[in-house]
Structure 1
Amino acid sequence: MNTLNHFIISILLILFASQAFAVKPTITTIERSGNKTILITFDQPVKPHPLSDNLVGVKLYSDATYYLGTQHSGARYSTEYINPVNDYSQQMEITLGDDSFRMADASGKTSVTALLDNVYITNATNQYNLDSYIKNLVLAFSHDLTITSTNNLNANEGISLIHTLATTNTAATFSIIENTSNLFSLSGTNNAILAFNGTTTNYKTKKSYTVKVKATIGNGDNENTEQTITVTINNILTINNQTLSVNENASIDTNIGNPLVTTGTITAFAITAGNNDGFFKINTTTGQIQVAKLGLDYETKQNYTLTVKITGADAEDKTAEISINIINLKENTLTIGAKTLFVDENALVNTDVGNVNATGTITTYTITTGNNDGFFAINNTGQIQIAKLGLDHETKQVYILTIKITGTDAKDETAQITIRLNNLNDTTPANITLSKKNIVLGEPAGTVIGTLFATDPDDGDLIYTVNDTNNFEISDNKLKIKQVTTEIRTYPITITANDSLHTSEPQSFNITITATYIAAPVISQFSITQGENKGPLISKDGGEVTVSTSAGTGTYAWSSADFSNTSTNKTFVFNPQSVNVGTRTITLKVTAGDFSSERVLKLKLVDTYPNGRTDINGNGISDSKELRNSNNELLTTTNKKITSSGDTRILPSIMGEDSGQLTPDQLKQYRVANHLSDYTKDTLTTGDIYSYIVEGLSATGDFTQVTIELSTPIPANAVLRQYSLATGWRNFVVGNNNIQSKINASNVCTDTDGTWQTGLITGATCLKLTLKDGGENDADDNHANGVVESTISIATPVIVGGNDDSNDNGDSSSGGGCVYNPNAPARFDIVFILLMTLSAYYLIRRRRQFSH
């Protein structure tokens, strides 16, 4: 055979062999791989035939019983080629429906026949197979579940992390079964996202956290698995460059600033550079830098820069530069102390007021503040002197100067020097008034006709004198009849007032003896009893209540909107059993001749009288709170009280709780509990509210005085406010020297310490008010009945823009601008809110301008 023939034969043999030995792909095994999956293994690598839609028909049956599909029809399911290489795989998995194996598993059989249709595949040599396959399928399958994701995680302290859980079966669902730290949570599909909340973690406190998770695909033992996951906290060290300072000549072991600011768990601090002179050392545990030796001198070197290294377990070392500034000290020392000096009003120019208390080598004395009027000067010896005429106690009583002293190589020092003006008796009393000028025929000797008042800017005690000493006498400031009145007539008299140095001009009065009353009777005092209990606190279950009073001769008329009873006797009896709790009122009207007085009694009704409470004198204060006070003394706070005139009785208002001082909450609660309109908002009150009742005045329309020991000193620019349940807050009506205050160290306002001055004096702790029964400052609807009710507060004006059309404060003025705030410093938040609002408005305006 020639060569050509050999070549032709070889080619034919190769072609024959390739066709003879090429094998079409076929299925070797079918096995169940999961709850709803079938795994097919081929005899060679294959890929889907171009005609394939990756869907395979599946029927499961045994003999004539079909568990999936029917004899004539079957369902088609999606397929997935396992781990393909260059698109070819030797295994394919069919995913059935969720309950496709249900009937077969319930049959009790160990295997069934599986008919697979439309398995369209081709191999690498383009041999394809479009056949159907019938194979025996064992229902049991190996499905041990394993969590394949890592169980060791790391996180920086204070940082959270997210971890994705995975198992050998993608259908597995996760749950947390142990989470003692409560820092772990699950979310996402099948709860496969594990979150660790590390925001509060700290390496120093705890170095690792664990959680145990469970994965499940069923109820069998091999369908559940658990894994303990550990999160280890990293120790991250940080230290930034910092600047400290220390005085020159500092002693050894002086701390330089605070310990260095770092983060992380540090095992050691060390100075590694910049300390060649050895002036510094560092506490290796706390990071506190200290002076190591003497000799730090500003004139030699003003700054040192140290390199500090920090180390920690399981952490990278870190370094920072610490700059230490040396502070230059003044070598000389000056001192000056606060001091109070006194000088007479009207003092002449160059009058010495007094020297300041100062030490050291002083080069200058200067008045820096408090001398706006220019009344004072200070010379180079520290002597304060009068610089100009015009000091007047009635205009201003106290000047507070700031004195500054300076010296060579010394720190300037300042102190406050208080200068008080001595009030000289340089004015004469004037404007004598008499509250009442008549008396009924037959009144006994000693009966008070009226109360005398006069104005005296010098605030001294006044002595009154009457010219007719046969028929009249004056005791304190009370004009009295000296003998029994026997005839109707008029006595012309004159009265003078003396302040120990000056006597007023005589003031004429006509005192009339009348057959009947020509003034309203005084309803001096109510007596309230309920069983063994006394006072205005009564209970629904305590039985009948008896109210009695004495207002002299006249007719009595009792009435009440809360109780159906009426009475024309001196007593009023009722049973509160069916009345609602709260404040209840009774009105008494007493008529004498052509004149009448009316007084409203307020009672506090509760369900049951407090156990153990007693009120022997019936003044509305628990005996445990009385502290043996007199009838004309009312406790406000511990060791503080309000005192009325000696012949009167003072009681707490119905709004109080065993005290003459109210809080804003008590005021509000009273109005809410008694369904009253809210008139309190305009003061923004935070404290120091005093509320009281003075009864037993000598005559209707008379004057009385109260002295209040203040809980808080009077602030600068203060005003006095008064409160009424009907109208709310308004200004106290000022006039005729009816507001006085004083500063005294003892805080006992009735003693002789301190000098009473007209108006509200800054820093004063004592307040004296003169109140007229039925006057503008009498809060019982201005009734002239021998009783004065008053609720007052010391306040300072606070500017708060805006307008309040409701005008709840009861004033006639309108428009925005000014409200009154007792203890105004506690209301800084109002001004702050206003400033923030204005700032926000400005920013909005700016944004709109730039947006266009």
Structure 2
Amino acid sequence: MNIFNRFIVTALLVLFTSKAFATSPIITKIERINVNTILVTFDQGIKPVSHFDVPIEGEFSVKLYTSTTYYLGSPNSLIVRTPTAVNPNDNGFATQWQWEEPTLTATDNDGLSEITINLNAYHSDFENDIGHSSLDYINTLNLIWQHDLSITSINTLDTNEGTNLEHTLIASDTAATFSIIENTSGLFSLSGANNATLSFDGTNTDYESTTKSYTVKIKATTGNDTNENTEQTLTVNIKDVTDTAPVIRRFTISQGVNQGRLIIKTDTSVTVYAEASGGSSYTWSSSDFSVIGSGAFVTFIPNADVGTRTIKLKVTIGDYSSERVLKLKLVESHPTDWKDKNNNGINDSKEIGRHNNELLVGENKKITSPINTRLLLGIMSEDTAHLTLAQMKKYRTDNNLSDNTEDTLTTGDIYNYVVENFSATATTQVIIELTSPIPANAILRKYSPATGWANFVINDNNIQSKTSNTCTDDTHWQTGLTTGATCLKLTIKDGSENDTDGDQNNGKGQVNGVVESTISIAIPAASNSNNNNNSGGGCVYNPNAPARFDMGFILLMTLSAYYLIRRRRCFNH
């Protein structure tokens, strides 16, 4: 045998031996290395390759299960996962392959410390440097893994304004000690074993202030190495607590198919719903009806005498409460076309196109309040917010009330309205398109059903007027009552002297997020006489005029006395 033949035989023997004694890759370990990653370690390098007509895919088929539950796959099927190589060599072979496994979230939620894993690579396209790899691995996977130190307790907390808070800090290593490394507000402190109790001093916190959250940076440590130290920024959010009276924003009244405050005296029950800004209890009462209250709803049979009838509601939340009186008009029958879907007291057919913050005043004129508030007709008015003295007197008579509608001034145009659905103690505005221009020497008067007429209290430009065809714009307003003006803007504070709801015992309205107002543009009696071109001569006595000495009057009295003295002397002769 020559040398070449010997070389050929030797090469074939080596190749045969390598094939005969080569081993398939073996999985030496499968482990969980972090919260959602599984790592597979082989005894030799493998890589995905194509063979025959199968494309390169590099897939593992996997099951995860316990004796009772399959978390991944089923008894008869495996789920495909595509791993990535860890530190592969230049030819793409790697002894470690890993993949992200979302199923581990479910095993953590169930508190498992271990689970059975079945990994099958028989149908995969992985090979070692010898050839195709086929394997079937079944073993226990430990779900507890080693990792860097972390703070596992939550980092966002909520607490009520003015309230202190305690929070227990928790780290992945129970031996960790905590410290504060940043505390800008100075409201945080640590105490207890390992400083694991975080305290927040919220005594002086206020949701209405500009600061609605506070932060602190916490450090946990078990040693000096990087993986033995970690930090967490924790935020405390301040929650609002009701510290003002609740507001009864509106009432919705229905009687059968009819709605609104005009109700019929009949056996058909009436339902009232109260919309409030908050409240843990609702207390309904009435001296006119037998009411049955259930939370925000109350029902009653309207079997009282016709006229204005009332129901009182008290809403309470914590130590704060608010009251509001609902005034209803009880009649024998509705007008045939009566509809008042928005419950503002005006027939819907007369206010087509109007918004809730608009109220009819005479022909093609209106009162406007801010958006999101509501305007209602005053209880004395009918069909329009433009009220007459005759209507006021009739209201007093119909309800067996003494007549306090007469004023010491000459009463001009009267406007009667209610503004609701704004915050208690806040201010609201109304813009009135006047039915007639403001006369000279005009005085703005207010009327309270409890006390009668008085001057509208003036402060901080709360009375403005202008002459314009567009009253609702913000231009050309002048302070006070301008002669000839056709627009009037009033600013009224809830619970002030110009708010005329309630009993007015203190000369002010109730603090309840509602303003009732009846105003008149009046003129002094003297001014009215002087402006009447058809009147004759004569004197006018004004009881409100200031005392003064008129020099002409004094001269007249002196001459009269002198005349009487002269006549007496003549008689003596």
TM-score by length of 2: 0.51
**Is the Cα contact below 8 Å between 1:749 and 1:766 reproduced in 2?**
yes
- Residues 758 and 563 (structure 1 numbering): CA distance in 2 closer, same or farther, change over 3 Å? same
- Residues 492 and 520 (structure 1 numbering): CA distance in 2 closer, same or farther, change over 3 Å? closer
* Alpha-carbon distance in structure 2 between the residues aligned to 1:777 and 1:713: 22
Partner AA of 1:572 in structure 2? V
- Tell me whether 1:562 sits opposite 2:278 in the alignment: no
Within the candidate set 733, 738, 745, 2:462 is matched to 738
- Residues 605 and 833 (structure 1 numbering): CA distance in 2 closer, same or farther, change over 3 Å? farther
Show the 5 A alignment for 1:359-374.
none
Which one has a larger percent strand, Structure 1 or Structure 2? Answer: 1
Identity %: 54
| Counterpart residue number, 1:677 | 402
| Counterpart residue number, 2:348 | 623
How big is the shift at 1:514?
6.4
* Alpha-carbon distance in structure 2 between the residues aligned to 1:757 and 1:705: 15
Show the 5 A alignment for 1:31-42.
none
Secondary structure at the counterpart of residue 682 of structure 1: coil
Within the candidate set 515, 525, 532, 1:798 is matched to 525
Show the 5 A alignment for 1:18-417.
none
How big is the shift at 1:827?
11
Secondary structure at the counterpart of residue 525 of structure 2: strand
How big is the shift at 1:685?
4.9
**Is the Cα contact below 8 Å between 1:559 and 1:588 reproduced in 2?**
yes
**Is the Cα contact below 8 Å between 2:466 and 2:478 reproduced in 1?**
yes
Show the 5 A alignment for 1:763-774.
763-774=484-495
* Alpha-carbon distance in structure 1 between the residues aligned to 2:451 and 2:286: 22
* Alpha-carbon distance in structure 2 between the residues aligned to 1:734 and 1:522: 26
* Alpha-carbon distance in structure 2 between the residues aligned to 1:829 and 1:598: 51
- Residues 562 and 492 (structure 1 numbering): CA distance in 2 closer, same or farther, change over 3 Å? closer
Within the candidate set 262, 265, 268, 1:543 is matched to 268
Select between 557-566 and 635-644 the one with higher mean Cα deviation.
Answer: 557-566
Partner AA of 1:521 in structure 2? P
Secondary structure at the counterpart of residue 583 of structure 1: strand
**Is the Cα contact below 8 Å between 2:411 and 2:523 reproduced in 1?**
no
5+ long unaligned stretches in structure 2: 1-158, 162-201, 212-236, 503-508, 542-555
| Counterpart residue number, 2:431 | 707
Partner AA of 2:313 in structure 1? L
Which one has a larger percent helix, Structure 1 or Structure 2? Answer: 2
Secondary structure at the counterpart of residue 549 of structure 1: strand
How big is the shift at 1:567?
2.4
Q: How many residues align?
A: 316
Question: Cα deviation per residue 1:390-429 (whole Å; 9 max; x = unaligned)?
Answer: xxxxxxxxxxxxxxxxxxxxxxxxxxxxxxxxxxxxxxxx
How big is the shift at 1:769?
0.6
* Alpha-carbon distance in structure 2 between the residues aligned to 1:639 and 1:723: 25
- Residues 515 and 711 (structure 1 numbering): CA distance in 2 closer, same or farther, change over 3 Å? closer
**Is the Cα contact below 8 Å between 1:488 and 1:515 reproduced in 2?**
no
**Is the Cα contact below 8 Å between 1:557 and 1:588 reproduced in 2?**
yes
5+ long unaligned stretches in structure 1: 1-439, 443-485, 495-511, 800-819, 836-841
Question: Cα deviation per residue 1:83-113 (whole Å; 9 max; x = unaligned)?
Answer: xxxxxxxxxxxxxxxxxxxxxxxxxxxxxxx
- Residues 493 and 615 (structure 1 numbering): CA distance in 2 closer, same or farther, change over 3 Å? same
**Is the Cα contact below 8 Å between 2:412 and 2:521 reproduced in 1?**
no
- Specify the structure having the higher radius of gyration (Cα): 1
How big is the shift at 1:682?
2.0
* Alpha-carbon distance in structure 2 between the residues aligned to 1:574 and 1:830: 59
How big is the shift at 1:513?
5.7
How big is the shift at 1:777?
0.6
Secondary structure at the counterpart of residue 521 of structure 1: coil
- Tell me whether 1:532 sits opposite 2:257 in the alignment: yes
Secondary structure at the counterpart of residue 490 of structure 2: strand
Within the candidate set 715, 718, 732, 2:442 is matched to 718
How big is the shift at 1:521?
0.5
- Residues 750 and 595 (structure 1 numbering): CA distance in 2 closer, same or farther, change over 3 Å? same
- Tell me whether 1:651 sits opposite 2:373 in the alignment: no
| Counterpart residue number, 2:472 | 750
- Residues 488 and 642 (structure 1 numbering): CA distance in 2 closer, same or farther, change over 3 Å? same
Question: Cα deviation per residue 1:679-702 (whole Å; 9 max; x = unaligned)?
Answer: 1212465541001000100x1111
Partner AA of 2:431 in structure 1? T
Secondary structure at the counterpart of residue 522 of structure 2: strand
**Is the Cα contact below 8 Å between 1:662 and 1:687 reproduced in 2?**
no
**Is the Cα contact below 8 Å between 1:721 and 1:792 reproduced in 2?**
yes
RMSD: 3.3
* Alpha-carbon distance in structure 2 between the residues aligned to 1:665 and 1:720: 20
* Alpha-carbon distance in structure 2 between the residues aligned to 1:827 and 1:557: 59
Show the 5 A alignment for 1:834-845.
834=540
**Is the Cα contact below 8 Å between 1:664 and 1:687 reproduced in 2?**
no
- Residues 831 and 726 (structure 1 numbering): CA distance in 2 closer, same or farther, change over 3 Å? farther
| Counterpart residue number, 2:333 | 608
* Alpha-carbon distance in structure 2 between the residues aligned to 1:609 and 1:561: 24
- Residues 592 and 761 (structure 1 numbering): CA distance in 2 closer, same or farther, change over 3 Å? same
**Is the Cα contact below 8 Å between 1:631 and 1:650 reproduced in 2?**
yes
**Is the Cα contact below 8 Å between 1:622 and 1:658 reproduced in 2?**
yes
